[in-house]
Structure 1
Amino acid sequence: MMNEFVATIRVPEYPPHLKHKVIFETFERLKPGEALLLINDHNPIPLRFQFESMHPGGFTWEYLEEGPDLFQVKIAKK
């Protein structure tokens, strides 16, 4: 079975100034229909708002795990 995700990003492993840069660069490399898995230690709501402003209608956002200590989000390119 193929891996559902092209990339997995464990956000806490990156320094603060690189987090969103790595996430958006990874998203840019996705082909339509591909997805990345975002793993974080808090709810990445600000990131979702940033996606909505930069890629309106161009992505899907699905929580696979919603806290309280671990959040996993499937972000797919439409």
Structure 2
Amino acid sequence: MSHNCANIISPDMLYPFDARGVAKRFRHAAIFGALDSLHPGETMRFVNDHDPLPLLAQLMERYGDAIAIVYVAREPGQIVIDFSRK
């Protein structure tokens, strides 16, 4: 029995990514990997305990206009950002 993870599509094209559950030393690599896996029109809903401003700068440098960044929530301890592939 084979399984192809690339074929699993969310009906709303929104995929959750809770960074709080990823070890800090792996977070950026995991986030880049997740974003690289998105197809145009898909969104990764990112949840974190702090505002990742250095990460956002890295994402803009790496992806430029190919990704949209929209804050859904920006409360202390509860940051939610939608990253959408264009």
TM-score of the two chains, using structure 2 as the length reference: 0.82
Larger Rg computed on CA atoms: 2
TM-score of the two chains, using structure 1 as the length reference: 0.90
The runs of at least 4 consecutive aligned structure 1 residues that moved more than 3 Å come to: none
Q: Percent identity?
A: 22
2:13 aligned with 1:8: no
1-structure distance, mates of 2:70, 2:47: 12
More helix per residue: 2
CA offset at residue 10 of structure 1?
Answer: 0.9
Give the CA RMSD over aligned residues: 1.0
Question: Which sections of structure 2, spanning at least 5 residues, go unmatched?
Answer: 1-10
Question: Which sections of structure 1, spanning at least 5 residues, go unmatched?
Answer: none
Q: Deviations over 1:21-58 (max 9, x none)?
A: 11110111111111101000011111110001111111
